[in-house]
Amino acid sequence: MAYLITENCNGCTSCAGLCPVEAIQGEKKERHVIDADFCIECGACARICPQSAVQDPSGRIVQSEKKKYWKKPAFDYSTCMACGICVNACPVGCIMFGQPSLKDKNAYPELADPGTCISCGFCADECPVEAVMLMPPGEEQIAKAG
């Protein structure tokens, strides 16, 4: 299964520039194509598309949203195990381990590069203890408070 670009595509190239696995090909101002063999279903192409021209794997058109409103991962450090699953799951490398504190020598994950986050949610999806949540910008503190 993979995302699909419909005929409404105007070839703006936004999706191809954002795709973390370079699965989207196409000429400028022409309809783009997603290679299903490489698509990891992160949905970034659909969220960024100004034409709302991308279908998700279930066939539904995804409405685009301005990138500044995309939800981003926030971490509940009272639950987090510092196991690194979310760091590994992130396809763009925006989650990294932070510095340990004086009291706790574990290094916990943090959103080190919010600008590159594509709001795919793989971090939250793969976290076994639900210590990662996708939150609207500005509400990260809710997760941190547990």
Which residues form the interface with other proteins (CB under 8 A)? 20-23, 38, 40-41, 81-85, 88, 90-94, 99-100, 105-107, 116, 122, 125-126, 128-130
Close Cβ partners of 137 (under 8 Å, ≥ 6 residues apart) = 68, 69, 70, 71, 72
Beta bridge partners of 24: 34
Phi, psi angle pair for 80, to nearest 5°: -55, 140
Which residue, 8 or 106, has its beta carbon nearer to other proteins?
106
Which residue, 50 or 84, has its beta carbon nearer to other proteins?
84
Tokens of 78: 């009272």
Least spacing, CB of residue 142 vs other proteins, in Å: 21
Helix (H) or strand (E) holding 33: strand 33-34
Least spacing, CB of residue 112 vs other proteins, in Å: 11
Of 55, 37, 46, the closest CA to residue 18 belongs to: 46
Which residue, 6 or 101, has its beta carbon nearer to other proteins?
101
Least spacing, CB of residue 56 vs other proteins, in Å: 15
Amino acid at 119: S
Least spacing, CB of residue 146 vs other proteins, in Å: 14
